Structure 1
Amino acid sequence: MAHIRVRCVPWATTTTTVTKESLPMPRPSRPAHSATVTGTSRISRDMVRVTLSCESLPYSELNHTDHYVKLFFPPAGASYSWPFDPAKVREELPREEWPVTRTYTLRSWDADAQTVDIDFVSHGDTGLAGPWADAARPGDQIGFMGPGGAWHPDGPHIVFAGDEAAAPAIFAGIEALPQDATAEAWIEVADAEAHLPTPSHPGVAIHWVNRDGATHGTELVRAVTEAGVPSGDTRWFIHGVAEMIRDLRRFLFVENGVPKSEVSISGYWRLGMVEDEWQASKREFNEEIEASEAQAAANR
């Protein structure tokens, strides 16, 4: 299929303090950028890659493998379209007209070409960002805030685990591994037809975990726990649905005593919630998990 690129230029924003009550807008601590689609390609049945050209991103500072951006989507029927000043929209328009944000990993970037690739899970008309990616055409514009991100593989052996939402960051992590490093990657997808093209590395074994109708995350938890904890020096990168994160945290921290400093683990989303709802409840969810883990550890 045609490959779409997006051109991105700076868009000024005003820094404001965002409280929990002011969600769904993100805390505007990072600059907003304006991008133009240049190409798209369907890389699997359930995944679409959109390439964006962006001159304003600090490419020299993109040295992590979990970089992410927050895409702006004006609500249906909004009186404005991109480009716009997010802070000004918040100040002048009612809440129902504020743009919705969706968080996506930068799968890759090309500093010379000043482009980034973002992979979108696509389920037809379901959701917000997926349908946008399906319909994206060269010349379309979109705004985003970012990038964020803080992780880079730094150990001799890495265990990656995640679902479709985490696959872009997992693959970026594999591509950044030194040639003498080793890794195991467990990736949960809907079924065998949803497998994705994978990076090649001599020391990496990639294991596909097919849900085949099971609840999101349950098969991945089973696969990772059955594989066990490696005996040597290991780092972990585990991201995806929150319920899976809860179970694998207990497996690692409570049942096996893995130091938290060796693990990057976080819920990207939660069953039955859109991103705004999940972000508003994520801290409470994590606090409940930590309290449960502390109680379980005390009872062992």
Structure 2
Amino acid sequence: MAVWHATVRSASWLTPALVRVVLRGDGLSGFATPDATDTYVNLAFPPADAPYGPVFAPAEVREHYPAELWPARRRYTVRRWEPATESLTLDFVVHGDDGVGGPWAASAAPGDVLVMEGPGGSYRPDPAAACHLLAGDESALPAVAASLEAVPAGQRAVARIVCDGPEHEVDLSCPGELDLRWLHRTGSGDAELLLRAVEDLDLPASGVQAFVHGEADEIRGVRRHLLVERGLTRADMSCSPYWRRTMTDEAWRRVKRDFVAQMDADVEPVA
């Protein structure tokens, strides 16, 4: 996998919990994204006491240093790539000191270096779809925003997004006919917000393309509903649990594979 590095040019708070970081530099020369609106890069965050420099090859670090000195790897969606200026924009959800990427972004300053591998990606709104459904939370916002911008004019797009309140909403644009609703957490029954909102939708009986990403248990419920009760197939849907309530990043990474297998078992033998 290709390794890139870039320098922070700016970091700004879009909401109380979302930081936008713009990166540029010669280390992005030749970088190109796939034809996907969920394009991602794997970021590498070295520990504070790393004995190697800010520009490194993650594979070489893993080969030559003990595990405690390896960089933490986190996957982030590309919000925007501008080839003309070789400018890469990433949005980071910040929950205080929790995690790795959020705290890094919260303190990012011009000149800071970020190493990454990739890119990858596979989803893009299908111009032949009758309706585009995008459901998730703040962690899915970069992909949701990029996807809405790619919906063809005249096509229906339905977006349901969970966030902490009005101050956590961001402007979203779409050439299509956008039906957008923000779902605000209240501290009670939040795990059901997204599922209930999707259950209430009036969607076409066929031709729905879905993008469902966010908190694991919320995504699991929505996925089951769409496959079992709405009749979507797996080919109609891009679905991934990014994080799980009450779990740290590392704890979630350890159990994610088993959780995804359980999601599949929920809907067997659905094709």
Could you tell me the TM-score, scaled by structure 2's length? 0.91
SS at match of 1:166: helix
SS at match of 1:38: strand
Equivalent residue, structure 1, for 2:239: 265
- Give, in whole Å, the separation in 1 of the partners of 2:176 and 2:263: 37
- Give, in whole Å, the separation in 1 of the partners of 2:247 and 2:148: 30
SS at match of 2:267: helix
- Give, in whole Å, the separation in 2 of the partners of 1:147 and 1:183: 26
Equivalent residue, structure 2, for 1:53: 24
Equivalent residue, structure 1, for 2:46: 74
CA gap 1:248/1:175 in 2 versus in 1, 3 angstroms: same
Percent same amino acid among aligned pairs? 38
Deviation at 1:252, TM superposition (A): 1.2
Q: Which residues of structure 1 form unaligned runs of 5+?
A: 1-29
Deviation at 1:202, TM superposition (A): 4.8
Equivalent residue, structure 2, for 1:189: 163
2:122 to 146, 150, 158: 150
- Give, in whole Å, the separation in 1 of the partners of 2:259 and 2:173: 33
CA gap 1:270/1:197 in 2 versus in 1, 3 angstroms: same
Equivalent residue, structure 2, for 1:23: none
- Give, in whole Å, the separation in 2 of the partners of 1:164 and 1:172: 13
- Give, in whole Å, the separation in 1 of the partners of 2:265 and 2:107: 44
Equivalent residue, structure 1, for 2:172: 198
2:13 matches 1:39: no
Maintained 8 Å contact 2:145/2:173:
yes
Deviation at 1:271, TM superposition (A): 2.2
Maintained 8 Å contact 1:190/1:213:
no
Deviation at 1:34, TM superposition (A): 1.0
2:179 matches 1:226: no
Equivalent residue, structure 2, for 1:62: 34
Equivalent residue, structure 1, for 2:228: 254
Q: Deviations over 1:126-145 (max 9, x none)?
A: 32211211211111111011
Maintained 8 Å contact 2:37/2:124:
yes
Deviation at 1:277, TM superposition (A): 3.5
Deviation at 1:228, TM superposition (A): 4.8
223-232 or 64-73, which deviates more = 223-232
CA gap 1:215/1:97 in 2 versus in 1, 3 angstroms: farther
Letter in 2 for 1:289: M
Letter in 2 for 1:145: E
Q: Which residues of structure 2 form unaligned runs of 5+?
A: none
Deviation at 1:275, TM superposition (A): 3.4
CA gap 1:152/1:270 in 2 versus in 1, 3 angstroms: same
Maintained 8 Å contact 1:43/1:197:
no
The alignment's C-alpha RMSD in Å is: 1.9
- Give, in whole Å, the separation in 2 of the partners of 1:135 and 1:148: 27
Equivalent residue, structure 1, for 2:149: 175
SS at match of 1:169: helix
Equivalent residue, structure 2, for 1:97: 69
Deviation at 1:52, TM superposition (A): 0.7
CA gap 1:231/1:291 in 2 versus in 1, 3 angstroms: closer
Deviation at 1:125, TM superposition (A): 2.8
Deviation at 1:108, TM superposition (A): 0.8
Deviation at 1:100, TM superposition (A): 0.4
Aligned length: 266
